[in-house]
Amino acid sequence: MPKALVECVPNFSEARRPRVVEAIMEAVQSVPGVILLDRHSDLDHNRTVLTFVGEPQPVAEAAFRAIAKAAELIDLNQHRGEHPRIGATDVVPFVPIRGVTMQECAELARQLGKRVGEELGIPVYLYEEAATRPERKNLENLRRGEYEGLKTEIETNPERQPDFGPAKLGSAGATVIGARPFLIAYNIYLTTDDVSIAKKIAKVIRHSSGGLRFVKALGLSVEGRAQVSMNLTDFRQTAIHTVQEMVRREAARYGVGIHHSELVGLIPQDALIDSAVWYLQLDQFEPEQILERRLEAALSETSTPEAGNAFLDELAAPTPTPGGGSAAAFSAAAAAALVGMVARLTLGKKKYAPVQERMQAIAQQADGLCQRMKSAVARDAQAFEAVMNALRMPKESAQEQQARQEALRAATLQAASVPLEVVRGAVEALQLAAEVIDHGNLNAISDGGSAAAQAQAALRGAALNVRINLQGLEDAATTEKMLDELTKLEAQAKTLWERVKTSLKERANLDVG
């Protein structure tokens, strides 16, 4: 399974011509390593939503190919549907799943937007976490006036100038590209065909009109029935059952009820569990009570952690690599993994409701850090091997001596740079550990303490490798700069460690030396 995993959920303005949708799906699937998870087509909306995942660059390539194919086959001048839209490919969000930060997804969006604008000649607007202006974060602001209205405004109104591509719409319209957290697309159908009721309910529940936070809503007519069409942008803050019951209450004011509801695309398991627990009034429920989760955990415990065992076997072998630097990186990765665990054990608990958003962010940051530190395990060994290879280079002639000296300098610099990167990662892990110890699930506070201890060990081990390798570097200016950074990082870590000890004592009466 890929170390870094990104989800892409593009929306295309077509559902009534299956061959067109299939051609777009084929474009996505033509990229190796990209997995198409889901397709949802709505005939009334005349809109198709695809969900695919993979490593960042392949996913971006699949998105580009899909945008190009949609531009070739969809003419917005002929398109009609209930859902607002400005483009053949209307919106392309990237969602970090594992080993990728939101910032990295935002950069992926910018890269794709630039390419689409330059190579396909399609105007591109960046939104959510990739937005270039505050007013462009919200998708509804960019869709104002839809394709027909944007046709004129893009050429006459400076506020509607695209971020990339020409200030002119062709038959493919414009595309909105960005990065955002996981979103649940959720529709509720009412027991009436009166769309005005759906619009009134949507106005009451959506955040922009003073309703529920993290809810976007429209009232539409779909299949002859009034529909409240919604995007839930943070189900941990505003749960599905909260939305469902508010719609039910508002509908009752007009003498109607809920006929049925539907999901568009995929939904996290935790979102369904939260609503099931709420409706069933399961007091003191724990996710580990779910049979499938307990079974998965049990099977995982009985499986052999081959990769970890192989690394430890290599570490014990009578060879120079992997050595202390790789071990330090491994400890930093373990620290980050433990931080992620504590953060996730805090999520979904009513007692810790005020810190839910921050814990979600910590979990994602810890995942990315863990992947970077795991990468450093191998890179540290490679850097030392490069030093050994440089030392073995011939040195008979002046030319050979110069080549050897240059290779040795570059390899030594890298051998010091990788453990310095691990020191930075260890301090980052220590900072995150301090946060989960301060505010996370008290039942897992010792795990947070273990994460901090692992980070401390990683920092000290990596710092030794920085210093020993810098002894062989003749560039005094570079050596001084790196040692200065190392000293500052060590001082920062010392302050964080004192914070960790204080918090462990105050929250759990745990003494740490």
Please pick, among 163, 234, 380, 447, the residue that the annotation labels catalytic: 380
> What is the rounded CA–CA span in Å between residue 353 and residue 363?
15
> What is the rounded CA–CA span in Å between residue 336 and residue 120?
41
* DSSP β-bridge partners for residue 96: 6
> What is the rounded CA–CA span in Å between residue 257 and residue 253?
9
CB contact at 8 A, 382 and 289: no
Residue 339: CB partners within 8 Å, gap ≥ 6? 362, 366, 429, 432, 433, 436, 448, 451
Calculate the alpha carbon distances from 1 to 5, 99, 212, 367, 380 in Å.
Answer: 9, 12, 37, 15, 23
> What is the rounded CA–CA span in Å between residue 175 and residue 179?
14
| Torsional sign, CA 231, 24, 82, 227 | negative
Helix and strand numbers, DSSP H then E, in the chain: 15, 11
> What is the rounded CA–CA span in Å between residue 18 and residue 469?
62
> What is the rounded CA–CA span in Å between residue 193 and residue 197?
9
Alpha helices (runs of H) in 43-145, residue ranges in sequence order = 56-73, 102-115, 139-142
In eight-state DSSP terms, residue 173 is B
Nearest C-alpha neighbor of 362 from the set 256, 298, 441, 304: 441
Based on the residue annotation, tell me whether 380 is a catalytic residue of this protein.
yes
- Give the pairing of strands 89-98 and 175-179: parallel
Calculate the alpha carbon distances from 237 to 137, 215, 217, 263, 337 in Å.
Answer: 19, 10, 16, 19, 24
CB contact at 8 A, 411 and 390: yes
Please pick, among 40, 45, 83, 439, the residue that the annotation labels catalytic: 83
Write phi, then psi, for 296 (nearest 5 degrees). -60, -40
Q: How many residues comprise the chain? A: 513
Sheet harboring 258-264: ordered strands across?
Answer: 215-222, 225-232, 184-190, 258-264
Place of tokens 């040795």: 408
Beta-carbon count within 10 A of 506 CB: 11
> What is the rounded CA–CA span in Å between residue 324 and residue 270?
40
Element (H, E) at 427: helix 398-439
Looking at the annotation, which residues are catalytic?
83, 380
